[in-house]
Chain A
Amino acid sequence: MIRIENLYKVYGDREVISDFNAVLDKGINNLIIGASGSGKTTITKCVVGLTEPTKGRVLFDDVDFFSLGRKDRAEMRQLIGFMFQGGALFDSMSVEENVMFALRVFTNRSYAEMKKRVDFCLDRVGLSGVNNLMPDELSGGMVKRVAIARAIVMNPSYLFCDEPNSGLDPQTAILIDELISEITHEYQITTVIITHDMNSVMDIGDHVIFLHQGQKWWEGSKKEILDAKNEQLREFIYASSFMKSLKDLQE
């Protein structure tokens, strides 16, 4: 479980995140949704300390992350898996080396043991036999899969995915969403997924937080979202013609 309390982030004189509070439970898909520029990436980066929040507290299962020293923070981070918007694969390393990286740096396992774990993770994300490909030889969907494999290789307790299905075709997008969802339930991970895709929301949105201009405007499940009264949220949901026609059908 992750608890975020009174989180603020100011860039220059712009308040990008204002008084953000949330409790993110484990074993479910916690989605943070909102338009481009609403502050989704900034919130996740603050939560994991990639950017220092201006104010606020973040508790990882009751451990106050920002009160930790440098060494404890580094240790805490080994429990966090992070999937970047663009994949952020190490482009000088093969797929196998990418996924193996954290194992090589932080554990003392033999190559055979590490390889076994890497192959397991690659298999889990539906990629086998691509160990020796380089990142620039991968398709968009494969990059995302490798990024997921790399994020789960250390058995993380917390998993952050920044727009995991952006830039993918709709079919692949759904596969990636479902893959993350399965992994979350299977290993009881506290998962935070950032998206602006309503398909993802309706597909895997166990717990949905709607962000508007750096503030939380609505919170609920995918079942409740279509009936939400919040105007900004309705605008966001019904921006796509598909959702609009769905609403018309409903009414």
Chain B
Amino acid sequence: MNFLFHFGRYTLFLGKVFARPQKRKLFWDSTFREMVTLGLDSLPIVAIISVFIGAVATIQTASNIDSGLIPLSTIGFATRESMLLEFSPTIIALILVGKVGSSISSELGTMRVSEQIDAMEIMGLNPANFLVLPKVIGLMIINPFIISLSIFLGVVGGYLATVSTGVITVSEYESGITLDFYPFDYVYAMIKTVVFAFIITSVPAYFGYFVEGGSVKVGKASTIAVVYSSIVILILNYIITQLLLL
């Protein structure tokens, strides 16, 4: 019941969001601004996490491969594949839900309870379209760059780990990260990235947009938004993976 209610209202909300902007120039201006803010906002945390996870994944794989039967190039290969297929597109998406999603939700929630959204509506503007579409499109454009960077930095992190610990040689690591590379894996990762960007922005925007009450409710909406967006991302991750990789 609750789920159906939200699903129905979310669908109608998307209808309002994906209307034609009042002025094309204003739309692209704010989309560009959102790209810069969302991108710059998330870059530092994404960079730090990616380097460390890449390094740790590499050391973990290395520490499990000591039998001599498995080629050492597997280490670099494992780092690349886990960053590319799952860590960067999915786990970073979950982190962005907490960072970008919750701030979108509280921004819109605050605008709702202080009647700023009503003020736009009364002027004859479509606030859902004006406020939300630039965020959705902005993150869908910028997220593939963020995630590609994350994959790259993860692999760099692995490289730094091998160099500093000396578990394998640099050339063994390098042969691993170039081993058996299927471009489709990258396409798969980017498809997830774009879909998740849509969820990270539109679901929290929905919960913020329909806040009723005061500032306490804004905080609650933001929490609920993070939970729902994360679950939706996990489910979609499974569905997309089954459809594309099986």
- Using CB atoms and an 8 Å cutoff, list the residues of chain A in contact with chain B: 48, 50, 73-78, 80, 82, 84-86, 88-91, 101-102, 104-106, 154
CB < 8 Å neighbour of A74 from B115, B116, B118, B124:
B124
- CB closest residue in chain A, given B123: A102
CA distance A48 to B121 in the complex (A): 10
**Residue B40, interface by CB 8 Å:** no
> Quick check: A88 and B26 within 8 Å, CB to CB?
no
> Quick check: A77 and B116 within 8 Å, CB to CB?
no
- CB closest residue in chain B, given A98: B119
Contacts of A104 in B (CB 8 A): 23, 26
> Quick check: B122 and A91 within 8 Å, CB to CB?
no
**Residue B178, interface by CB 8 Å:** no
**Residue B22, interface by CB 8 Å:** yes
If A75-B124, A77-B124, A105-B125 touch, whether A88 touches B23 (CB-CB below 8 Å) is: no
Interface residues of B in 163-188 (CB under 8 A from A): none
Report the minimal beta-carbon distance from A78 to chain B, rounded to whole angstroms: 5
CA distance A161 to B209 in the complex (A): 24
CB < 8 Å neighbour of B124 from A78, A84, A90, A91:
A78
Size of B's binding interface in residues, CB under 8 A: 17
CA distance A167 to B26 in the complex (A): 35
Contacts of B125 in A (CB 8 A): 74, 105
Contacts of B126 in A (CB 8 A): 74
CA distance A200 to B40 in the complex (A): 50
Contacts of A102 in B (CB 8 A): 123
> Quick check: B26 and A50 within 8 Å, CB to CB?
no
Can you list 14 contacts pairing A with B, beta carbon distance less than 8 Å? A74-B125, A77-B121, A77-B123, A78-B124, A80-B122, A84-B119, A88-B115, A89-B116, A90-B119, A91-B116, A101-B123, A104-B26, A106-B123, A106-B124
- CB closest residue in chain B, given A90: B116
CB < 8 Å neighbour of A106 from B22, B111, B118, B119:
B22
CB < 8 Å neighbour of B119 from A75, A88, A105:
A88
CB < 8 Å neighbour of A50 from B110, B114, B122, B130:
B122
> Quick check: B119 and A82 within 8 Å, CB to CB?
yes
Which 3 A/B pairs are nearest by Cβ-Cβ distance?
A: A77-B124, A88-B115, A74-B124
CA distance A50 to B124 in the complex (A): 11
- CB closest residue in chain A, given B118: A50
Contacts of A85 in B (CB 8 A): 115
Contacts of A73 in B (CB 8 A): 124
- CB closest residue in chain B, given A77: B124
Taking A50-B121, A80-B122, A84-B115 as known contacts, 18 extra A-B pairs with beta carbons closer than 8 A to each other, sorted by chain A number, are A74-B124, A74-B126, A76-B124, A77-B121, A77-B123, A85-B115, A86-B114, A88-B114, A88-B115, A90-B119, A91-B110, A91-B114, A91-B116, A101-B123, A102-B123, A105-B130, A106-B22, A154-B123
Report the minimal beta-carbon distance from A249 to chain B, rounded to whole angstroms: 41
Report the minimal beta-carbon distance from B209 to chain A, rounded to whole angstroms: 15
A interface footprint on B1-31 (CB within 8 Å = 1, 0 otherwise): 0000000000000000000001100100000
CB < 8 Å neighbour of A84 from B26, B110, B118:
B118
> Quick check: A48 and B122 within 8 Å, CB to CB?
yes
CA distance A76 to B126 in the complex (A): 14
CA distance A86 to B119 in the complex (A): 11
- The interface centre, meaning the residue of B22, B114, B121, B124 with most chain A CB atoms within 10 A of its CB, is B124
- The interface centre, meaning the residue of B111, B118, B119, B125 with most chain A CB atoms within 10 A of its CB, is B119
Contacts of A77 in B (CB 8 A): 121-124
CA distance A78 to B124 in the complex (A): 6
Interface residues of B in 104-118 (CB under 8 A from A): 110-111, 114-116, 118
Report the minimal beta-carbon distance from A140 to chain B, rounded to whole angstroms: 15
Contacts of B123 in A (CB 8 A): 77-78, 101-102, 105-106, 154
Contacts of A86 in B (CB 8 A): 114-115
Contacts of B118 in A (CB 8 A): 50, 84, 88
Report the minimal beta-carbon distance from A156 to chain B, rounded to whole angstroms: 10
Contacts of A50 in B (CB 8 A): 118, 121-122
> Quick check: A105 and B122 within 8 Å, CB to CB?
no
CA distance A120 to B122 in the complex (A): 22
CA distance A90 to B118 in the complex (A): 11
CA distance A177 to B125 in the complex (A): 28
Contacts of B115 in A (CB 8 A): 84-86, 88
Contacts of A106 in B (CB 8 A): 22, 123-124
- The interface centre, meaning the residue of B115, B118, B123, B130 with most chain A CB atoms within 10 A of its CB, is B123
If A50-B121, A78-B124, A82-B119 touch, whether A105 touches B114 (CB-CB below 8 Å) is: no
